Structures are given as structure tokens and as C-alpha cells.
Chain A
Amino acid sequence: MRLDVNSFLGSYPFRRVPGTSPDALLRAMDRVAVDEAWVSHLPGIFWRDPAAGNPWLYETALRHERLHPVPAVHPGLAGWEQVLSEAKAAGAPALRCDPTFYGIDPVGSEIQSLSRACGAAGMPLVLAVRLEDARQRHPNDRASELPPSAVRTLIRSDPALRLVVTHAERAFVEEVHFGSTPEESGRIWWDICWIWGPPEDHLETLLRTIGSERFVFGTGQPLRLPETSVAKLDLLDLGAEQRAAIESGNASAVTPTLSEAKRSGRSSKQSSAPSLMSG
């Protein structure tokens, strides 16, 4: 079982990217043996109201059993609490918020309110440090990268909050992890897509010093080639149990409710379909 917690659907506003349709994503998943994926609506990240892309995302995920929606929420807009409720009702594995892309303070009162609400609802929050390498971004793509201090501040904002941070490199991970208490760092999971694999020792070192239980498989596709995340695991000398944990097991700890629903044979998608469509 291989689960990609970091993938997108829909066009990217700053350059031509192939493979953005649901069918194309599924073909890419087959190509690299990814069984299931958490998917977000890529263009919505750049919309004034990112949640406007959620209905399409929900409907798409309902049609494709392997795709799990990670809807977006802007905590500075009216109705964000409803977005969280809809995500919960839909059985979404997580909710995403990209404050720097939305133009809001990444540690401001709005996102801290969202953090507390996510903690109370048991809804993990996904944050992307970046989407593309700063060297190649479009001149008008000027959103700041998420700073490590913001992750530390948010994880402290609510004792029940769980964060999944994507597109973070080694230095970012270390700054947050070693600047947090053990209890805090135990509620953060890191996707591996932006961490160097062999022969650089970044991922190997992090797995040893921080612990492999903190890392989840992610690709950033289709903005990035998904082959990269698979290759870096192939190049590491990982035991089968450790690799399985990174590729899917650790994600189950992020979303224990969803995992339990699957184990018991209940389909969160089917049971929540009416509420999805009413949103």
C-alpha cells in the first residue's frame, strides 16, 4: 500500500503543467504504484476564496475511490467554520490552508482560530511550505514561503491540533522539530517530497534523528515528478516495516478516524454524499 498525501488536481496558473486531470493523475499513480492519494484543488489555492474549488473536488473524489479530498479553507472569510464542518462530514482526511498564498498572516488570529477549530474537530491541517522552487517561480508569483516559526506557533496554538507539512526541506524540518517540545513535534507529520534522498544524507539523517514515524509519503504531483519520491526511498536502505510505515502506515496515525472507518468497512464517501452535494 502506497498513499500519496500531497497531490493536486486542476491547472496551475503560472506555467503549463501536464497531467492535471483526474484520469491523468490516476494514470500517474498507476505508473509509480501509488494506490491512493489525498488530492487538493490546485487552482483554488490562488482564488480569492479557495473553498470555491471544494465542490468540484468533492464530486471528483466521489467518482474515484482512490482519491481522497483535502479541501481548502480561508479562515479570514465568512463561513470558514462551515467549510470545516463539510470536510468533516465528507470524511476528508485533512483540510488545507495555505496562508501565504491567501495573503494572510501565517500566525495571525485567523489561522490560529482555524487551528483551534481543527483541533477540536479532530481534523488534521495540511500546510505547504511552497509549491515550486523559488528559482523558477513566475515574476508575479510572489507569495512568501511558509516560515518554520509559523509551524511552531500553530502547533502550540491548540494541544489537539495535528499538522501535515508538505514541501519542507531538511533545515525547515529540523528547525521546527528541535524547536518544539516532544509533545508538539509528535503532532506534526512531514511529507518527503522536498527532502533530499541519497547520495545526500538529508532524508536518511532525518529518519534517524527525528524518527521515521514522523514522515509520510508525498509527491507534489503533478507539479513534480512522482518518480522522485519513490526513487529516494528505493535508494535508502529501509526495512520493509519502516518503508511501509512511511508509505502508508504513518498517514493512518494522522487520520485515525478515517482509518478506523476503512477497517470497519464503512465508506465515509458514500455515507456523506448527501452532505457533500448540499455544500
Chain B
Amino acid sequence: VATVRNLPNVFVDLSGSGVDGGMLEACLESVGPDRLVWGCDLTIDTGWAKLRYLQHLLGRTELELVSWRNAARIFPPAAFPAD
């Protein structure tokens, strides 16, 4: 994530099996909540766990950015059923 720190058009998704302590802190430190998007890959338990942990790292507004607002912003209109 340090590589994309200064690339504002690059977003980082949180999917994958890794659930390392310190991983989410490093993501936030590098790109901040404005450029993180939540994802779970096939391992929903790890994705859900990361979302739960983010609830303790972020305020409500920032959590909404990561959990859906950033995705809604960068994907084309009508990409999501709720659009």
C-alpha cells in the first residue's frame, strides 16, 4: 500500500484471506478512508471480520466511505441495484 500512497486515482480494496493485526491500520495510514473500498473475495468470514474491526477504527462517516460510499462514487452510475 505504500506504493500507491501518492496515486490519488488508485483505490485499495480490503478483500482477501489475510487478517493480520496491523493490516488495516497500515491501509488507513497510507491511503486513508477516502481510497479504501470494502470487499470480501470468497472468504466472507475474513471480509466480515475486517469490517467489524473497522467499526472500531473509524467514525460513522468514514466507515460509510469504506463500506459503500467510495464504491458508489468510483463505479459507473447504475452499477449497483440501489442506484
Contact = CB atoms under 8 A, between A and B. Distances in A.
A235 B44 contact: yes
Interface stretch (B20-28, B30-38, B65-73): B20-28
B45 A232 contact: yes
Interface string B36-48: 0000001111101
B49 A225 contact: yes
Nearest to B56: A31
A235 B22 contact: no
Interface in A1-39: 15-19, 31
Interface string A211-246: 000000000011111011011101100000000000
A223 B21 contact: yes
Contacts of A198: 44-45
Contact of B19 (A17, A200, A224, A235): A224
Specify the main secondary structure of chain A where it touches its partner. loop
B45 A224 contact: no
Q: Which range contains the number of A residues in contact with the other chain?
A: 20 to 34
A207 B46 CA distance: 19
A19 B53 CA distance: 13
Contact of B49 (A19, A132, A222, A230): A230
Contacts of B43: 196, 200
A225 B24 CA distance: 10
Given A196-B43, A231-B45, A224 B20 contact: yes
A223 B20 CA distance: 6
B21 A17 contact: yes
A99 interface: no
Contact of A18 (B17, B18, B25, B50): B25
A197 interface: yes
A228 B44 contact: no
Contacts of A230: 49, 52
Contact of B42 (A16, A199, A221, A223): A199
A223 B45 CA distance: 17
A17 B24 CA distance: 11
Nearest to A18: B22
Given A235-B45, A235-B48, 8 more contacts: A18-B25, A136-B20, A196-B43, A196-B45, A200-B43, A222-B21, A228-B45, A230-B49
The 10 A-B residue pairs whose C-beta atoms are closest, nearest first, are A197-B45, A227-B49, A228-B49, A232-B45, A227-B52, A222-B21, A231-B49, A225-B19, A231-B48, A228-B19
